[in-house]
Structure 1
């Protein structure tokens, strides 16, 4: 049986969410900026270490806050499916501190609103620093941000560049590894999948 994992990609306007998703799914990149105004769904199949996964990737437009209840989620079409996502990718622009503050706010709201729910408060969250190709313009050193995210927030952390296709595949492999390690599968595939992260055996179908 093929497992489906729902991944919500959330971030402020202009941080590169759609560019990252399209680079991963279609291996393309556009220099033209088209703001995401409505929720979009991408459904790629991924083979990781011999196991197939169906991904439901939600490209979420900028939202004022994480929906605090199922009712609020369904009132706003942009948020539908966000509360029950299997995992989250929170994207910020390494050159924009405001976009990082937005990710900080959303992460805390995810933790607060899912705590004690049947979907578990221990949901996998990967923080992604986008636009690594603009390294010289970053607002903070990579190490300081990485330590905060990993040590204090207890989240995964990856930096990438959709423009140059740098670490885009890695961030999705990292997220799958975190998700499996936290028990989204129950057939003890986690050990094999964690090994696959080092062998680079991941492909998008």
Structure 2
């Protein structure tokens, strides 16, 4: 076999649809995965937005060829559950990811309504997973872990915890799901490589918050001093 044949890269397309209530962090998760950024300002998604991300995975072929996976990520607005376009967004979905906010119990309970709606629109739901976002706010958790475990068991979903803000597990969970879909087992090392915790970004966020608070305090102190002089 020639070197060119050994280095051959196959290409596969995978469509992933993200659904869930408003403000659970669907857009933030996708943007963290695609662009490694995090927008603090919340802007609700209207209808649906679409993203493309290319990743490389090993193949099941023992000669070690790699395959390029072209991901189409569909970010469905939280208010689209009752809209007439949802079936169009779900058309030919290879994976469905339901996202909830671990600090918001209602966002978790409403996943049942999303599942019922999906079941009414497509006869054979594809590989599915739930993601509990905002795990950096574990101290504010509003969804009990035993309830999550029960839900996962009842529905047969894969289950992940992530933080779009810090980057924790955002890459690893999506890459792992894609690997499961294409039938490629990831080694422990490969999982660790995709599970990099973006600590430096979290530290930068904290530093920015500290600087902003200090400036606000200095401005307030300055204003108070002026008033006293007057």
TM-score with structure 2 setting the length: 0.70
Label 1:66 to 1:55 Cα distance change in 2 as closer, same or farther (>3 A): farther
Per the alignment, residue 135 of structure 1 pairs with: 138
User: How much does 1:122 deviate?
Assistant: 4.9
Among 3, 11, 15, the residue aligned to 1:6: 15
For 1:79 and 1:197, locate their aligned partners in 2 and report how far apart those are by CA, in whole Å: 37
Among 70, 87, 104, the residue aligned to 1:54: 70
**Does 1 or 2 have the higher relative contact order (CA < 8 Å, sep 6+)?**
1
Per the alignment, residue 37 of structure 1 pairs with: 46
Q: Does 1:195 align with 2:186?
A: yes
What is the 5 A alignment of 1:38-187? Answer: 38-49=47-58, 50-65=66-81, 72=84, 76=85, 80-115=88-123, 121-142=124-145, 144-180=146-182
For 1:154 and 1:108, locate their aligned partners in 2 and report how far apart those are by CA, in whole Å: 15
| 1:127–1:149 contact (8 Å) kept in structure 2 | no
For 1:66 and 1:56, locate their aligned partners in 2 and report how far apart those are by CA, in whole Å: 23
| 2:87–2:121 contact (8 Å) kept in structure 1 | no
User: How much does 1:173 deviate?
Assistant: 1.9
For 2:168 and 2:33, locate their aligned partners in 1 and report how far apart those are by CA, in whole Å: 11
User: How much does 1:130 deviate?
Assistant: 0.6
Q: May I ask how many residue pairs the two structures share in their alignment?
A: 178
For 2:73 and 2:119, locate their aligned partners in 1 and report how far apart those are by CA, in whole Å: 20
Q: Does 1:16 align with 2:7?
A: no
Q: Give the superposed CA RMSD.
A: 2.3
1:58-117 deviations in Å (ceiling 9; x for gaps): 0111245377xxxx4xxx3x66332321111110000111111222221233234322xx
For 1:113 and 1:81, locate their aligned partners in 2 and report how far apart those are by CA, in whole Å: 11
1:157-182 deviations in Å (ceiling 9; x for gaps): 001001110010122023213323xx
Label 1:157 to 1:171 Cα distance change in 2 as closer, same or farther (>3 A): same
Query: Greater share of helix residues, 1 or 2?
Result: 2
For 1:123 and 1:58, locate their aligned partners in 2 and report how far apart those are by CA, in whole Å: 15
For 2:23 and 2:189, locate their aligned partners in 1 and report how far apart those are by CA, in whole Å: 31
1:107-142 deviations in Å (ceiling 9; x for gaps): 233234322xxxxx2511110001101111111333
TM-score with structure 1 setting the length: 0.78
For 1:82 and 1:32, locate their aligned partners in 2 and report how far apart those are by CA, in whole Å: 27
Give unpaired runs (5+ residues) of structure 1.
116-120, 181-189
